[in-house]
Amino acid sequence: MTSYKGSQKELSRFSRYVYETFQDIAVTSHIIHWRRHGCLLRETLMTTDYKLRGIDIPTYIVGSQSEGSTTVGMNSDTDIFISRDDHLVVLEEKGRRRGKWNLLAFKDEETPPQFYKLRRMELNRRGYATEPLHSTDVVDDQGRMLVSNKCFDEDIEIELGHLVQHKCTTRGPQVSQGGLVSHGPSRSFTEEFDCVFALPCATQPEECQFLFQRPRPGHWPKPKTLEYARQCPAFFVPQGPANTLIEVRVLQWRLSTTLIERQLMFDLTEVQMLVYILLKMMRVCYIKPQFDDNLSTFHFKTAMMFTIETHSPDIWRKDNIVACTTYCFNTLLRWITLRYCPHFTTKGVNLFDGKLSRHELQQLESVIMQLRDNIVWYICNWRWTCLV
């Protein structure tokens, strides 16, 4: 295999070919917006269904289905994000609200960036809980009643059963024989759904202001998009930091800006979405077989967002799709060299922590350089079967 650079004219012609191919497999602006509209309607119906059952918990569909960053053959699952609005996480004691199960978020020497511990507060009166409310609650060595990130597993299993029972699937329910399976903060026992029970935060934590306060060229995200993002709630999801003892990990919750990230993805142009989908396809075919999900779709989404933020909006054209894809690879390669992958919305987070070792990063650097330098060859020799 030899490197294929080609003239600018040839690369432009090939980019148009890639664009037309996406049109042929139903990855168009119309279909992307149709998928988004369908998911927004579906989550409204799910929230209404809960209300009819006397439960007030907003439900969101997030990830590739709601973004529209999928197509036939990618077999993307449905990520269901359920906000437990009967609970409220506060960052200071005075932020508590009557009628809710208030939890105080705090950090100590065991909590890395993006992770917090949650302490139970008394219901409808001042002070902290001294008796466990749930069987998974734990008293730490300082006498604080802490909430375990396993506390909603039983509820999630019930809700997933409800979804399967009502046949809210496209491929039909395929139930895992091993029971409830954990993938980060999500729980599932079907190939169709991943479900996350999240706790809403009363205000966006300080580290989330990183998105709004850092210097940037200014063309993206647009001011209106940032204003919408400011109004999106932050959440705490049941996931502890990797590479820690289980008794430490189970008492920590990860800060999540899922709805902020979804709002940003909704602001991408058609060409930017096509570049992102192309990156996802290349990850599945050429990177996942060697590195599994240690280099995840979220890493590529983050690289995509930073590339859009730092590059001119004029480059995102139909005849420049291939070049834009290489720019995203360049962003990722820079982070691999630094051994540091920043989070787009949260300050101080290294997305490589707990995912890739130094040796794996060296191997990954070589693989991505090959993809970048020979991108036309890899697209032309596409193994479509790897997406099925």
Question: What residue has token string 């809960």?
Answer: 50
Q: How far apart are CA 61 and CA 127, in angstroms?
A: 36
In this prediction the pTM is 0.91
Reading the chain (388 residues) residue by residue, the pLDDT tens digits are 444 456 788 999 999 999 999 999 889 999 999 999 999 999 999 999 989 988 888 999 999 999 999 887 777 888 999 999 999 999 999 999 999 999 999 999 999 999 999 999 998 888 999 999 889 999 999 999 999 999 988 777 776 666 655 544 444 434 444 466 777 788 776 667 788 999 999 999 999 999 999 999 999 999 999 999 999 999 999 999 988 899 999 999 999 999 999 999 999 999 999 999 999 999 999 999 999 999 999 999 999 999 999 999 999 999 999 999 999 999 999 999 999 999 999 999 999 999 999 999 999 999 999 999 999 999 988 765 455 4
Q: How far apart are CA 342 and CA 364, in angstroms?
A: 17
Task: Tell how far CA 364 is from the center of its chain.
Answer: 21
For residue 258, report the phi and psi dihedrals to the nearest 5 degrees: -55, -45
What's the confidence (pLDDT) of residue 181?
A: 72
- Picking from 127, 121, 81, the residue whose alpha carbon sits closest to that of residue 101 is 121
- Picking from 248, 261, 222, 206, the residue whose alpha carbon sits closest to that of residue 81 is 261
Q: How far apart are CA 196 and CA 185, in angstroms?
A: 6
Residue 380 CB neighbours (<10 A): 11
Residue 359, CA distances (Å) to 117, 350, 355, 363 in order: 32, 17, 12, 6
What's the confidence (pLDDT) of residue 93?
A: 92
What's the confidence (pLDDT) of residue 384?
A: 54
Distance between the two ends of the chain, CA-based, in angstroms?
26
Determine the 3-state secondary structure of 201 from DSSP: strand
What's the confidence (pLDDT) of residue 56?
A: 83
